[in-house]
């Protein structure tokens, strides 16, 4: 069940994993492009996974729109698109294995209650032996990760209280939590490298610990700067960031390359998207990407 894709062990397998809560915006394009270029610069495979496990946030038709947008930008994936909503048996099996190890327990604490007690979960329910049904399920943290190396950001240190926190792997409403499913998906798909936004730096520590708990090798991580309209204001679907233009992909692609520190020559302004991507694959380097958590964008392409 938790066996990586054997035919691809030892080779580069990256992925782009958008949530279908709206169309791709410029920030999404930067993440997709960075992960694509990283994979192709290593002659690796680039996969697409639709992270639709959080069903209340799913917008009907957004998954198709995302895939069509990627195709319009010349970002073609190398394997079948995976949908988290179709993988519940994988998640249930893993949850059962963790429960058999007696490291999963029920928690009835609300976000409001946790905030009132300082903002981080304090093991309040750990010894209460609450029923597993109709409560959130937490994983006992036996593999805390207090630091790790990132290919863009360098050495990352995680606050001790966050590193040691027992975290939710299945929500009160019955939905599996991102922290669990993203690790199981990466294992199942044989993902070797993850390139994504710097807003996920702290969750990476939990995911690294879960890889250890499951006795699996973790991918290499690279966290690129977040695109922000102003400091602290991330471009996102929730913030109604405008969709990128599917009819004219060149301007946004060139802008995304510049955002990543890859400066295209002037003649590429009139090139095809295929020519731009070919040039960009050869020009790509993690060393070019700014090692900042956020980077402002004065004008969205």
pLDDT tens-digit series, residues 231-271:
655 666 555 578 999 999 999 999 999 999 999 999 999 99
User: How many other CB atoms sit within 10 Å of the CB of residue 10?
Assistant: 9
Q: Which residues are annotated as a binding site for Zn(2+)?
A: 107, 109, 121, 125
Helix, strand, coil percentages for the chain (3-state, nearest 5): 40, 20, 45
Mean per-residue pLDDT, 173-189? 97
β-bridge mates for residue 139, sequence order: 104, 167
Q: Which residues are annotated as a binding site for ATP?
A: 237
Q: Are 23 and 29 in contact (CB under 8 A)?
A: no
SS3 label, residue 68: helix
- Whole-angstrom Cα distance, residue 199 to residue 293? 7
Which structural domains are found in the chain, ordered by start? 6-296 (3.40.50.620)
Listed in sequence order, the residues at least 6 apart from 252 whose beta carbon sits closer than 8 Å to its beta carbon are 26, 29, 73, 244, 245, 301
The phi-psi region of residue 118 (left if phi > 0; otherwise alpha if psi is between -120 and 50; otherwise beta) is: left
β-bridge mates for residue 167, sequence order: 139
What is the token pair recorded at 131? 């029923």
Q: Which residues are annotated as a binding site?
A: 15-19, 51, 107, 109, 121, 125, 178, 196, 237
Tell me the pLDDT of the chain averaged across its residues. Answer: 93
> Looking at the predicted structure, is the pLDDT value of residue 84 above 80?
yes
Which tens digits make up the pLDDT trace of 200-236? 999 999 999 999 999 999 999 999 999 987 665 566 6
- Whole-angstrom Cα distance, residue 99 to residue 272? 53
- Whole-angstrom Cα distance, residue 152 to residue 225? 9
Listed in sequence order, the residues at least 6 apart from 53 whose beta carbon sits closer than 8 Å to its beta carbon are 84, 85, 175, 176, 178, 181
The pLDDT score that the predictor gives to residue 242 is 85
The pLDDT score that the predictor gives to residue 6 is 43
pTM for this predicted structure: 0.93
- Whole-angstrom Cα distance, residue 98 to residue 86? 21
End-to-end CA distance of the chain: 43
Q: Of the ranges 115-119, 139-143, 189-193, which one carries the lowest mean pLDDT score?
A: 115-119
Q: Which residues are annotated as a binding site for L-glutamate?
A: 15-19, 51, 178, 196
Query: In Å, how far are 90, 173, 174, 280, 283 from 36, measured between CA atoms?
Result: 26, 35, 33, 10, 13
Mean per-residue pLDDT, 124-133? 96
User: How many other CB atoms sit within 10 Å of the CB of residue 114?
Assistant: 15
């Amino acid at each position: 069940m938790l066996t990586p894709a054997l035919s691809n062990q030892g080779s580069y397998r990256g992925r782009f994993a958008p949530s279908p809560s709206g169309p791709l915006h410029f920030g999404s394009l930067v993440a997709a492009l960075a992960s694509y270029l990283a994979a192709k610069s290593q002659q690796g495979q680039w996969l697409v996974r639709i992270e639709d496990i959080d069903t209340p946030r799913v917008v009907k038709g957004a998954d198709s729109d995302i895939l069509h947008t990627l195709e319009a930008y010349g970002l073609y994936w190398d394997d079948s698109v995976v949908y988290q909503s179709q993988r519940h048996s994988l998640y249930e099996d893993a949850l059962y294995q963790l429960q058999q190890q007696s490291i999963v327990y029920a928690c009835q604490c609300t976000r409001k209650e946790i905030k009132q007690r300082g903002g981080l979960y304090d093991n309040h329910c750990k010894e209460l032996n609450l029923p597993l049904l109709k409560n959130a399920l937490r994983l006992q943290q036996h593999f805390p990760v207090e630091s790790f190396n990132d290919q863009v950001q360098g050495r990352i240190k995680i606050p001790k209280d966050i590193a040691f926190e027992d975290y939710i792997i299945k929500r009160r409403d019955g939905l599996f939590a991102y922290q669990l499913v993203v690790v199981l998906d990466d294992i199942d798909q044989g993902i070797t490298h993850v390139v994504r936004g710097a807003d996920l730096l702290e969750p990476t520590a939990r995911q690294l610990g879960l890889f250890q708990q499951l006795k699996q090798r973790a991918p290499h991580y690279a966290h690129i700067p977040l695109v922000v309209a102003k400091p602290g204001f991330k471009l996102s679907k929730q913030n109604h960031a405008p969709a990128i233009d599917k009819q004219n992909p060149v301007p946004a692609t060139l802008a995304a390359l510049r955002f990543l520190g890859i400066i295209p020559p002037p003649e590429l302004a009139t090139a095809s998207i295929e020519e731009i991507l070919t040039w960009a694959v050869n020009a790509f380097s993690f060393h070019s990407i700014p090692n900042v958590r956020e980077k402002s964008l004065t004008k969205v392409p």
